[in-house]
Structure 1
Amino acid sequence: MVEAAAGRRSGTCRRRPSGGGELQRQQLLHQRLLAAHVAMATTAAGAPSGTGGRCLEDFADCLLGVLRALGLTSWAAARPPQGQPRPPPPRGAADARRLAAELRAVPGRIAGNGASAVASLYTLQGRKGVNQDAMVFWENFCSRDDTIFCGVFDGHGPYGHLVAKRVRDLLPIKLGADLGMDEDRETSTSNIKSNANQVGSQEHIDRGNTTISTGAEQNGEYPECFPALRTSFLKAFHVMDRDLKLHKNIDCFFSGTTAVAMIKQGHNLIIGNLGDSRAVLGTRNEINQLVAVQLTVDLKPNIPSEAQRIMQRKGRIFALPEEPEVARVWLPKYNSPGLAMARAFGDFCLKDHGVISMPDVSYHHITEKDEFVVLATDGVWDVLSNDEVVSIVSRATSQASAARFLVESAHRAWRNRFPTSKIDDCAVVCLFLNMDEETESSNPMANNSANSAEVTSNQPSATTQLNTGSSADIVTAMVTDGNEPFVVEAIAKPVTHAKDG
């Protein structure tokens, strides 16, 4: 009997394994014991020169997870370092609250339900427990008037909600830290430029009535800024994943999050994609009809290039009998954890078996025909097509209400299509393009709405005004905490597909 998947589900089948809290605790303990057994066997079998310390550390981490599951945290907290420098102490609750307060005070940043002159954000909890989705919009990113950052993050696993929120808060800071460095520096990006050319040579992919762009820019070559921006995305995602691995207050062994992070700089869109959340563009075609163009590829385990990497690292890919359309990633010898995506932050039980945190970075040049971009977690895409999403956003009574209108439409679609299934969490960011900058800057109501504070999903209509007099030096101050330089060792190949039919 195949064990129930511990990872997040995806696809159209909504049947979930049932069981109480004690059963889930026993399953988590069982998974930890299996992982500890694997690490012990690896250590006993002998590792290549220079990797023995890592094997011992992995075994110790697995054992630490078992002790946590048993509730023996006092001994675990006192575990001394094993030949490694002691990591810096984790942020306490007071530091976490201070960080959250400082971020809420940043002018132009929205991390909850709200709207600005150019964006609309909304999230709604499903029927599966705590809302594990997160989102963020940040105007005047890196203190640049022409730059916006926005992203959505879909957590999964026991602590997925904590992972998603931490990535939401820290990923833009880490990305901004690299973008804020000397812009005239020489970057050794020969491999990146070569790879960017490969991305640019890809054709668009037709899926039914929807065009999917895998990063190829149909209007010309990449701008000169793209290689450096792509490098910044790769570095920021790498540092973010390392931060999660070293974080002792969030157990990311069986928990993680997706990410679709986008920077709009002038007429340039740069998107970093990890997992199966999605970015879709609403644009006008030759006959002025509004159509959908998918800007990212859902990085599922059954994509050939993703499957090849996973199987080369001894990971296994198969679907459960009760959801045959959902391919999942499993450990080499055990039917666990069953992750329904090929790339993610966290999920360190599978990081040695092909699941990576390196984003697929794509580019799009904004034209006068482009109207808006929708970033959404898979709770939306599981029940609505790209064209339906674009149509729903275009029919919203106002741009400020567009995200809420879309999320509520997705919930209705869940109830109609899957009446016996639990509705998934949904999070949406709608970014509107080609706005009249003079109108925006002269509209005090719009400027004030950009300072909406983070609110809980239980109070979707509430907004709070932030203190716009806070210091802009906050980003620099937070970035310097544990952000060490590093070198990206490899560049992921762009995801490619053949045209259907």
Structure 2
Amino acid sequence: MGPCLSVGCKRAMAGSSVSSVLEARKLKDSENGLESKDSMFEQQSEEATVHRIPGRMFLNGSSEVASLYTQQGKKGMNQDAMIVWEHFGSRTDTFFCGVFDGHGPNGHLVAKRVRDSLPLKLTAHWEANASNEDISKEFGHKTGLNNENSGLETDWKEASSPLKHHEISENMKESFLKAFKRMDVELKMQPSIDCFCSGTTAVALVKQDRDLVIGNVGDSRAVLGTRDKDNCLQAVQLTIDLKPDIPAEAERILQCKGRVFAHEDEPEVARVWLPNNDSPGLAMARSFGDFCLKDFGLISVPEISYRFLTDEDEFIVLATDGIWDVLSNKEVVDIVASTPARSAAQSLVESATKAWRRKFPFSNIDDCAVVCLFLDSNLMVSDMNVKSQEDSSAVQAETAMVDDDVSGAAGLRCSEIVQTVGVST
């Protein structure tokens, strides 16, 4: 069930990485063919800076709008990563969320690198596209995808998309395409992580007010919890698991001389293989990294989808396949809906762990990473108020016990004094 069956090939990569502090400038420099000479220093600066950004969460916990949790499986180091970034792009109504499932010898490093760098690239392209659109409108021209994205294959899905939101969705679509492309280029060029036989999935979303745009590579998944006309909770899958057994994906891989077949030990898991070598056996058709397969049909171009959110939409769950391999979409939304919002992600991981032990008792539990984004922040606020009241009640009860102990001790002491006085008399 793992993403890679064989990782026997390694190869050193070289080049430069991009600084987060100077992401916009580096974007412009790269478009002009300029390269950084201080890549290692800039990468360290980027890592130090990005972890100090307000509203950015990547560890287990919760906020007023989200719950996130990751847990190491039984296969070694936890290679999953996650992020929730509130006020994304300095917009109070905008959020970025993502989960990343690494694989291969350096999968944990690739997943964390994409977690840290992809949102920076996305917001840099978003701002650049917005500026270009403003300039184009000033001269009365219509902007579209530029030459950088020509020839890129992508699926573009829209659901309940009012015409007035078309401009936002097109801008974000272009930003996703460019950001994913540059992310993969950076992984190939920078020297600190060998990505030849290591990579990561990515399912990332940007929510701006009621506009939702999702970019996806690999088999991590996004699912929406929403109410139908009878007010029953329903699960709506927002992304496709981009695996090699999808006909269009398999056709592309085969045309590029790659091979697609399932190993006899796992006949239900189609994998991507090199033309003349039974490796690496990658169980997905798109990913970041994995450059040993990039000439043979594996791509990092995301599937992009758009949705206009309504009052019936309650929450979105992003999770790695450690969740989806053992829990159905409906089971996931039911668990989240029945759990206090602040601990929804943790409850989901714990439920998946139990399901792994029940369904696959002789298989190692996979890493899990979950982000739950609540579209009605009142759910989180209400939940936090309940928690606050519970904590307050607990403190009051503890105080009362202390008071009782003190009173009891005082009463006992008083009784001793009275008894002593009585004896003396």
Scaled by the length of structure 1, the TM-score of the pair is 0.66
1:381 and 2:328 are equivalent in the alignment: no
Q: How does 1:41-56 map to 2 (within 5 A)?
A: none
Give the unaligned 5+ runs of structure 1: 10-15, 18-26, 33-61, 66-83, 201-214, 447-501
In 1, Cα distance between equivalents of 2:183 and 2:43: 16
Cα–Cα, structure 1 residues 87 and 316, in superposed 2: closer, same or farther, change >3 Å? farther
Match of 2:351 in 1: 409
Provide the rounded CA distance (Å) in 1 between the counterparts of 2:61 and 2:380: 22
CA distance in 1: counterparts of 2:160 and 2:87, whole angstroms: 28
Tell me which amino acid in the other structure corresponds to 2:40: R
Q: Deviations over 1:213-272 (max 9, x none)?
A: xx3314655622111110000000011001100111100000000000100001010000
Contact in 1 for aligned 2:235/2:329 (Cα 8 Å): yes
Task: Tell me the CA shift for residue 437 of structure 1.
Answer: 11
User: Structure 2 vs 1, CA of residues 359 and 193 (structure 1 numbering), >3 Å: closer, same or farther?
Assistant: closer
Letter in 2 for 1:226: S
Q: Corresponding residue for 2:48?
A: 101
The CA deviation string for residues 171-227 of structure 1, in whole angstroms up to 9 with x for no partner, is 0001011112215244333899999xx967xxxxxxxxxxxxxx3314655622111
Alpha-carbon distance in 2 for matches of 1:167, 1:177: 15
User: Is 1:422 matched with 2:378?
Assistant: no
Q: Does 1:291 align with 2:286?
A: no
Range moving further from structure 2, 172-181 or 311-320: 172-181
Higher helix content, 1 or 2: 2
Alpha-carbon distance in structure 1 between the residues aligned to 2:192 and 2:51 = 22
Q: CA deviation at 1:419?
A: 1.0
Matched, 1:189 2:136: no
Amino acid at match of 1:333: N
The one-letter code sitting in structure 2 at the alignment partner of 1:342 is A
Within 5 A, what are the aligned runs for 1:478-489? none
Please point out which of 70, 77, 84 is paired with 1:130: 77
2:262 is aligned to 319
CA-CA distance at 1:291 after TM superposition: 0.6
Aligned residues: 355
Q: Which amino acid aligns with 1:119?
A: A
Partner amino acid, structure 2, of 1:122: Y
Q: Is the 8 A contact 2:374 2:380 kept in 1?
A: no
Aligned residue for 2:421?
Answer: none
The aligned amino acid for 1:158 is: P
1:96 Cα deviation after fit: 5.0
State the 1:105 CA deviation.
1.8
Which of 255, 273, 280 does residue 337 from structure 1 map onto? 280
Q: Distance in 2 between matches of 1:194 and 1:319?
A: 33
8 Å contact 2:341–2:379 — kept in the other structure? no
% identical aligned pairs: 56
Partner of 1:175: 122
Map 1:52-201 to 2 at 5 A.
62=11, 64=12, 88-92=37-41, 96=43, 98-181=45-128, 182=131, 184-186=134-136, 187-189=143-145
Of Structure 1 and Structure 2, the greater strand share is in 2
1:314–1:365 Cα change, 3 Å: same
Contact preservation (8 Å) 1:282, 1:292? yes
Partners of 2:266 and 2:297 lie apart in 1 by 22
Q: 1:191 to 1:384 in 2, by over 3 A?
A: farther
Does the 8 Å CA contact 1:132/1:156 hold for their aligned counterparts?
A: yes
Q: In structure 1, what is the Cα distance between the partners aligned to 2:193 and 2:148?
A: 33
**Which residue does the alignment assign to 2:186?**
243
8 Å CA contact 1:114–1:122 kept in 2: the answer is yes
The alpha carbon displacement at 1:436 in A equals 4.8
TM-aligned CA distance change 1:87 to 1:97, over 3 Å: closer
Shift of 1:114: 1.1
| Shift, 1:350, TM fit | 0.6
AA of the residue aligned to 1:104 = H
Q: What is residue 476 of structure 1 aligned with on the other side?
A: none
Please give the per-residue CA displacement for 1:367-413, whole angstroms capped at 9, x wherever unaligned.
000000000000000000000000000111x2110000001111111
Residue ranges of structure 2 left out of the alignment (5+ in a row):
14-32, 137-142, 389-425
Say if 2:212 is the partner of 1:269.
yes
Q: Which amino acid aligns with 1:360?
A: E
Q: In structure 2, what is the Cα distance between the partners aligned to 1:161 and 1:167?
A: 10
User: Structure 1 pair 409/328, CA: closer, same or farther in 2 (3 Å)?
Assistant: same
CA distance in 2, matches of 1:265, 1:414: 35
CA spacing shift, 1:297–1:188, aligned 2, 3 Å: same
Q: Tell me if 1:8 matches 2:17.
A: no
1:351-370 matched pairs, under 5 angstroms: 351-370=294-313
Does 1:310 find its partner at 2:260? no
Q: Are the aligned partners of 1:151 and 1:429 in contact in 2 as well (CA < 8 Å)?
A: yes
TM-score, normalised with respect to structure 2: 0.77
What is the one-letter code of the residue matched to 1:400?
R
- Matched with 2:415 is none
RMSD of aligned C-alpha atoms?
3.0
Deviation at 1:8, TM superposition (A): 1.9
Point out the structure with max Rg over C-alpha. Answer: 2
Give the distance between the partners of 1:160 and 1:276, measured in 2 at CA: 15
Q: Residues 293, 88 of structure 1: CA spacing in aligned structure 2 closer, same or farther, 3 A cutoff?
A: same
- After superposition, the Cα gap between the structure-2 partners of 1:424 and 1:228, relative to the gap in structure 1 and judged at 3 Å, is same
Distance across 1 between alignment mates of 2:96 and 2:106: 25
Aligned counterpart, 1:456: none
- 8 Å CA contact 1:269–1:365 kept in 2: the answer is yes
Residue pair 1:269, 1:366 contacting (<8 A) in 2 also: yes
